[in-house]
Amino acid sequence: MQTVLTEQTQLPLTCTCSGACCHDKTVPLNPAELAFAAAARGLPPEAFAQAHTTNLTHLKFEPVSNVCSKHVKNRCGQLGKDNRCLIHPQRPYACRLYPLGHKRQGEVEAYVHEGGVFPCIAPCPGVLKLPQMTVAAYLKGQEVGPWQAAHNRYLELVQDLSEGAFIMALETGLYALKPDDTVAAWQQASGLILEPKSTDPLQKSAIDAPWLYRLFLPEININENTPDNFAQQHAEMLQQSAQEAFATLTEQNDHLKTSAMMHAMALKLALALGVQAADLAVFWVKQLQVMGERS
């Protein structure tokens, strides 16, 4: 159940700075957020990815060693000993938005929170003693705008990558000639992305190393840049690279490998945006089969 909000909804959104929201959560991390978080820690993006992410797509959470913490199992690796965020000025979109959620379907957008009762009250009852604010005021104070724009641009890139996978599979005649092989390749790629066998976030799986770097560690200077501009520049660079690399392919095996890899890239980026990628993987494979039978 979700409670749909308006921008004028009043809620106890003043933070108590207790760090309660930084425990036992999952925080998706898109490529722009990874780059900005790395800069906040004074690390190259690759080093930050290795040390502080899970499979490139989420901030790493670490087990809590305090035996007194009976109800808390994991804490964000970016939470300092003083319960202050080590990357706060460049914190991800999900952190800025929390405890709110954002839903987008086409051009229709809405803000929500989970459940019928405001989720901060139980873990952080002190919030009821602090001033309430409107959703609009909260979003403005959290400087959500450019981070949400980056998130939305990456959602569009997920769709672009998926469309590229479909084009490579269908318009080249690959599916018509090798339907079973094409479906099997997409399903295998889905499995490698959704259930990675290595804990090394940069380990090759369904995505060749150069393309994994292009997807999550693009060579973009963040100095005097903003997350939304970063995402736009990144999308343009990736699309240009894909066009140059894939447009001239003629061999069926190359079409097969590339279509499965683009499918995997779309899924991995979807994970980094907090999308239910497992459902998406099943849907895309079914769509491939339906569209393939029609062509």
pLDDT tens by residue, 129-142: 889 999 999 999 99
**pLDDT value, residue 165:** 98
> Does residue 283 share a domain with residue 204?
yes
Identify the bridge partners of residue 282 per DSSP, sorted by sequence position: none
* CB of 222 closer than 8 Å to CB of 44: no
> Does residue 152 share a domain with residue 91?
no
Identify the bridge partners of residue 105 per DSSP, sorted by sequence position: 108
> Does residue 188 share a domain with residue 87?
no
- Of 213 and 204, the structure prediction assigns the larger pLDDT to 213
Q: At what angle do helices 227-246 and 209-216 cross, to 10 degrees?
A: 150
| Structural domain span for residue 272 | 146-294
* CB of 258 closer than 8 Å to CB of 139: no
> Does residue 130 share a domain with residue 10?
yes
> Does residue 132 share a domain with residue 240?
no
> Does residue 85 share a domain with residue 39?
yes
> Does residue 170 share a domain with residue 90?
no
> Does residue 152 share a domain with residue 133?
no
> Does residue 187 share a domain with residue 93?
no
> Does residue 158 share a domain with residue 286?
yes
- The helix, strand and coil proportions of the chain, stated in percent and rounded to the nearest 5, come to 50, 10, 35
State how many domains the chain has.
2
Residue 209 — pLDDT band, cuts 50, 70, 90? very high
**pLDDT value, residue 66:** 61
Give the residue carrying structure tokens 């060749």: 208
The amino acid sitting at 194 is L
> Does residue 110 share a domain with residue 213?
no
> Does residue 152 share a domain with residue 137?
no
Give the residue carrying structure tokens 């995997």: 264
Q: Identify the domain boundary among 96, 126, 143.
A: 143
Cα dihedral 205, 208, 212, 215 sign: negative
pLDDT tens by residue, 75-99: 999 999 888 999 999 999 999 999 9
Q: Identify the domain boundary among 96, 118, 143.
A: 143
Query: What's the rounded Cα separation, in Å, for the pair 39 and 173?
Result: 45
